[in-house]
Amino acid sequence: MHRALLDHAAKLAVEQGLAAVTMQSVADAAGVTKGGLLHHFPNKQALIDAVFNDLLEELDRQLDEKIGADPIPQGAFTRAYLDSVFDLEPETGGAAWAAIAISMLTDPHLRERWANWVQGRSDRHRTTDGTVALAAIRLAADGVWLADLTSVNVEERAELRDFLLRQTLVEEA
């Protein structure tokens, strides 16, 4: 039931925006009573936090998998991050991220949670990805992500991805 509630909340956020995610709308979508939903999540903020945690856990899993498969330790986190950002597509797995990410721009709580996640990952990978050059590459990827979220066309997307990936292999990176 917990999983279904998270999935329905994410789906509503994608289809109608985060404002449409109310306790009643999620309960209705999941086919449970509002009381049944409240048993799992005491309020909307707890539900949104759980959806956000779910997305972060999936991102962590993807990153760790990609890092583990990378034969070159130096820059592996940055390459994994680039791959994950460029692989997000609003029509598929990126849709839930899009709904949450747009909300991060205006919601201080979500913005702080994202900043803490980024800082934690940066600290965790400081020995392999702690250079200014690699940080700049990750920030460039964030710019592509923001462009995607706001429907700005990124021309030559594949070339941009390849260029950024090559930069992770440069000695100074």
What ranges do the domains of the chain cover?
Answer: 52-167
Q: What is the pTM of this model?
A: 0.84
CA distances to 23, 29, 84, 103 from 106, in Å: 21, 26, 24, 6
Give the list of residues 6+ apart from residue 152 with CB closer than 8 angstroms, or none. 146
Read off the pLDDT band of 173 (50, 70, 90): low
From CA 134, how far away is CA 26, in angstroms rounded?
40
Length of the chain (residues): 173
CA distances to 22, 36, 153 from 96, in Å: 16, 23, 20
- Encode pLDDT of 75-98 as tens digits: 999 999 999 998 876 555 566 677
